[in-house]
Amino acid sequence: VTGQPFTAGPPRPRDPTILHVDMDAFYASVEVLQDPTLAGKPVIVGGAGPRGVVASCSYEARVHGVHSAMPSTRARRLCPDAVFLAGRHDLYGEYSARIHDVFKSFTPLVEGIALDEAFLDVAGARRLFGTPIAIAALIRARLRETLGLHASVGVATSKFVAKLASKAAKPVVDWDGIRPGRGVVAVAPGGEVAFLHPLPVQSLWGVGPATRQRLERFGVRTIGDLAALPEATLVSALGAAVGHQLHALAWARDDRAVEPDLPVKSVGHEETYARDHHERAPLRREAVRLADSVGSRLRRHRLAGRTVSIKVRFHDFRTISRSRTLPAPVDLGPEIARVACDLLEQVDPSPGVRLFGVSVSNLVDDASRQLTLADVDAGGWGGVTAAVDEIRGRFGDGAVGPATLVDASGLRVKREGDTQWGPAAGPG
DNA sequence: TCTGGGGTCCTCTCTCAA
DNA sequence: TCTGTTGAGAGAGGACCC
């Protein structure tokens, strides 16, 4: 999860004070809270258009075989009676903040890894709240009472085992229906290897479809199979970093600490279009819009970055990226857009572009950013940007934007988050 | 029948300077 | 002056996570 090195040798016995808390069907559950008539129904949150995917779904939808990341068209076929919702990222963010407040009422050592899950180290909370298992139960109860949301919790000596334990604590769904989960699963010190080895190898953090396929050539199906392979074999098959990491994890060696406040490494915005773009002109407009959105978020987080990248996905899903590193960090939409448009000149869009994205990396704290003429000249972009940021702060992100982006109605500017999980139905 | 958006990290290749 | 080595940094692509 983080860049800390894995240690060699057998797992070090220690107290199981690491918790992984994972909300159950988070987005769908928040939607049910907003509209209680949805309770007990199959609810699917995601892009409803032809290129959308499922972001989250209720357990009632999972009974029909629907799961997250599934194309929405397939989900609709599997569960035609489901209620489809576009999703409200801002709302989920608000709930996420309240969930994290609950976590922080037990320990300051909270490492958020998504809106709906986090690692907690409760070593220092035991005197006040009891054993880690008791704390896990208290957190679940607090989330249920104060927010009306259900969570599953894994308790272990390491982050990685705690994460798999929380998965084991989840409600069980099969074609017969939904059975309640255990809620809290704790793996005792010394019991990690016995817990891990029967699990399928793709349960390991870092084993996706490509790695699983490569491991299958060695007859590896479970974590136990993987653990039985010599480390040198894994390194030669998967590369040094992945090989060493997977071997260590398969033997439950994971000494990474819970780290609150990990720095952001990049900020980007990308979008899939309902219809492919075959010409450069509309993509230039998109570059301006996406760059404006990225710049706005950079400034909100008081960041600036030296590397501007664009990402282009063609009709056949072939994906390329082009990037340029600048002498000084940037955080203004027009500066980012200029580089993005330059990079776009290297790309031939004629085969058809289905996705376009702009991102900024190599981030530095805004305070360490060099002042530019635009910052100094209040009539330049610096002054304009400050005003734009203030208007957006008061009236929302869509209130103001580059003039080139105003649609035919001339009223609203399409902004980030409008199409969170794929384009809406109809022409884009 | 298809395959989102926000990210992180790793690997390989190339260039350039010491 | 020329050649080879090495390391850093940039750029591109890919795999993976939620």
Q: pTM value?
A: 0.88
Say what the pLDDT of residue A262 is.
Answer: 86
Question: Hey, CA dihedral for A22, A26, A29, A34, is it positive or negative?
Answer: positive
Which residues contact residue A230 at a Cβ distance below 8 angstroms, ignoring those fewer than 6 apart? none
What are A174's strand-pairing partners? A177
By DSSP bridging, strand A177-179 and strand A117-121 are unpaired
Closest Cα to residue A132, out of A111, A151, A156? A156
CA distance linking residue A388 with residue A29, whole number of Å? 35
Q: Which one of A31, A60, A111, A117 is the catalytic residue?
A: A117
Question: What confidence score (pLDDT) does residue A372 get?
Answer: 56
Chain A 392-421, CB < 7 Å to strand B:
416-417, 419-421
Report the amino acid identity of residue A42.
Answer: P
Q: Is the CB of A321 under 7 A from strand B?
A: no
Burial label, A295 (beta-carbon count in 10 A; 0-12, 13-18, 19+): buried
Distance in Å, residue A209 CA to nucleotide B1 C1': 19
User: Would residue A40 be called left, alpha or beta, if left means φ above 0 and alpha means ψ between -120 and 50 degrees?
Assistant: left
In this predicted structure, what is the pLDDT of residue A303? 92
What is the residue whose two structure tokens read 């909370």? A125
List strand B contacts in A 107-146 (CB < 7 A).
none
A35: helix, strand or coil = coil
Mean pLDDT by 10 residues, chain A (428 residues): 42 80 96 95 90 93 93 93 92 94 96 93 96 97 96 96 95 89 96 95 90 90 94 88 91 91 90 93 95 94 93 92 92 95 93 94 76 50 61 62 53 45 62
- At residue A3, the pLDDT reads 37
Match 């934007």 to its residue by tokens. A401
How high is the pLDDT of residue A210?
87
Residue A358 φ then ψ, to 5°: -130, 135
Nucleotides of B under 7 A from a protein CB: 1-12
